Copies of this chain bind each other. A is one copy, B any other.
Amino acid sequence: MTEADPSELPLDIDTLKTFTFTRVLSQAPSSGSVYLLGKLRDVDAIVHLQQSVLPTEQASEVIQHGLERLDVYLENRPYFSSHAWLASRSFPDLVIKVICPATETHIKKYTAQERAMVSETAEMYERIVVPYIHSFPPSRVEWVYNILAGKKEAERVLYKDDDPDHGFMILPDLKWDQTSMSALYLTVLVQTRSIRTLRDLTPAHLPMLNKIRQTVYSTCAENFGVAKNKLRLFIHYQPSYYHLHVHVVHIESEGFMGMTVGQAHLLDDVISLLELSPPAPEPSILARMTLTYLLGVEHGLYQPLVEASESIEEKEKA
């Protein structure tokens, strides 16, 4: 075999036949998705297999005319269960994506990171998380400030109030293609730069938070015909960037990680806990709570938080 030249590599069945498997990088068995690392003609490659899904509109047609073979494996009238093979397939079986040549950066990106639950007390927030947030240069959230200043994505904005203290902006999240209403996903960005996480919220922010909730409701009703009781509004902790933002998701968008308890905090719950909190400068319930969440073990906060927890447990035992 001649030495492979990555720049010339064509993607075809003959090339895929040269695949030598190294390891599974990550997988989601329930949706039939797997990332494999290996080599194609001696060049590092990541191959992603994703099962195609039978379009619901074709289901009835498939039952009537599309089957080639049926193996009934359970019959307990009125219940029947069977395995079925399609006679022919107008839609593909798989979506196969290839990254070749794959660099270390690609491999790291698609490798499942080990994760673990951590608990963060109010004291740990002040001592570990606040300095961590301050360690980032302001340029890290420059992209947020550019949106808020109207320099970027201005044509996408659905609602905008420029008041520097209480204003906010509503825009479609990049994850949403704006076609299916049951996949509706918006983001609310506040104007103020003073709120890093939900721990910084106080009862003084209640008017802004209530206005966010009401404005999201009216924006979704007017722009998309989606009623307020079909929406879930939540805030992440830890957030992926330290500038307060609210996620707005249709209730039919179910079961994805970003809505899992611990990671997600309902805006309604946040408002209710602030209503039950003493006025500033007393710390709010959110500031005083121990917050528990899932964190990648390579996240910058993981080791410091685990060490702090262990030292608390040591003291309790002593």
Q: Complex: how many Å from CA A232 to CA B262?
A: 9
Q: Is the CB of A80 within 8 A of B63?
A: no
Whether A11 touches B117, Cβ cut-off 8 Å, given contacts A94-B84, A289-B273, A292-B266, is no
Q: Complex: how many Å from CA A17 to CA B65?
A: 6
Q: Is the CB of B254 within 8 A of A257?
A: yes
Q: Complex: how many Å from CA A117 to CA B94?
A: 36
Q: Complex: how many Å from CA A295 to CA B47?
A: 41
CB of A155 closer than 8 Å to a CB of B: no
CB of A255 closer than 8 Å to a CB of B: yes
Q: Complex: how many Å from CA A285 to CA B289?
A: 12
Contacts of A230 in B (CB 8 A): 116-117
Q: Is the CB of B56 within 8 A of A27?
A: yes
Counting every copy of the chain, the complex holds 2
* The residue from B115, B255, B268 contacting A251, defined by CB atoms under 8 A apart: B115
Q: Complex: how many Å from CA A65 to CA B20?
A: 12
Q: Is the CB of A82 within 8 A of B97?
A: yes
Interface 1/0 per residue, A50-70 and B, CB below 8 Å: 011110100110111101011
CB of A303 closer than 8 Å to a CB of B: no
Q: Residues of A within 8 Å of B, CB-based: how many?
A: 99
For A229, give the chain B residue with the smallest CB separation: B116
* Interface core residue of A78, A98, A275 (most chain B CB under 10 Å): A78
Interface 1/0 per residue, A258-280 and B, CB below 8 Å: 01111111101101110110000
* The residue from B36, B38, B53, B63 contacting A19, defined by CB atoms under 8 A apart: B63
Q: Is the CB of A24 within 8 A of B56?
A: yes
* The residue from B56, B81, B94, B96 contacting A95, defined by CB atoms under 8 A apart: B81
Q: Is the CB of B92 within 8 A of A71?
A: yes
Q: Complex: how many Å from CA A59 to CA B37?
A: 11
CB of A89 closer than 8 Å to a CB of B: yes
Q: Is the CB of B81 within 8 A of A89?
A: no
* The residue from B13, B21, B84, B265 contacting A261, defined by CB atoms under 8 A apart: B265
For A269, give the chain B residue with the smallest CB separation: B292
Which 9 A/B pairs are nearest by Cβ-Cβ distance? A83-B92, A268-B292, A116-B229, A261-B264, A21-B60, A32-B53, A255-B255, A11-B80, A80-B98
Can you give 12 A-B contacts (C-beta < 8 A)?
A21-B60, A24-B59, A32-B53, A34-B54, A38-B60, A78-B100, A81-B96, A83-B94, A261-B263, A261-B264, A261-B266, A271-B290
- Residue ranges of A at the interface with B (Cβ–Cβ < 8 Å): 6-7, 11-13, 16-17, 19, 21, 24, 27, 29-32, 34, 36, 38, 47, 49, 51-54, 56, 59-60, 62-65, 67, 69-72, 75, 77-86, 89, 92-102, 106, 115-119, 227-232, 234, 251, 254-257, 259-266, 268-269, 271-273, 275-276, 285, 288-292, 294
